[in-house]
Amino acid sequence: MKIAWSPLADAQVDEAVAYIALDNPTAALEWLRRLLERVDSLPTFPDSGRVVPELRRDDIREIIVSPYRVMYRRSDDLIEIAAIRHGARQFDEKGIA
């Protein structure tokens, strides 16, 4: 199973790292390490994330890499990282690539 990042999710990761780094550059790198580790485990455990409660669709799931929600689409041969959203922000379905 392959992993692909949407352009939106890719940009959102950069934004999250930059935001965290404003206060603590070391924490930003640690968060990025945890994010990549969790994403790298998805091909082995594609259903490990929960169904996004606001959408209730089996094909769109999320994992939490605190304080961010990492939303992904899964199919038989691909996991697409669709969006990275701060958990405190209001959910917007349009914000999922």
More confident site: 87 or 4: 4
Of 64, 83, 65, the residue nearest 73 (C-alpha): 83
13-71, pLDDT tens digit by residue? 999 999 999 999 999 999 999 999 999 999 999 999 999 998 988 899 999 999 999 99
- Asked if the structure places residue 29 within a domain, the reply is yes
27-41, pLDDT tens digit by residue? 999 999 999 999 999
CB 71 within 8 A of CB 96: yes
Q: How far apart are CA 50 and CA 89, in angstroms?
A: 18
- Asked if the structure places residue 7 within a domain, the reply is yes
Write the CATH number for 56.
Answer: 3.30.2310.20
- The pTM of this model reads 0.89
CB 38 within 8 A of CB 65: yes
How far from each other are the two terminal CA atoms of the chain, in whole angstroms?
20
- Asked if the structure places residue 95 within a domain, the reply is no
- Asked if the structure places residue 69 within a domain, the reply is yes
Q: How far apart are CA 38 and CA 10, in angstroms?
A: 15
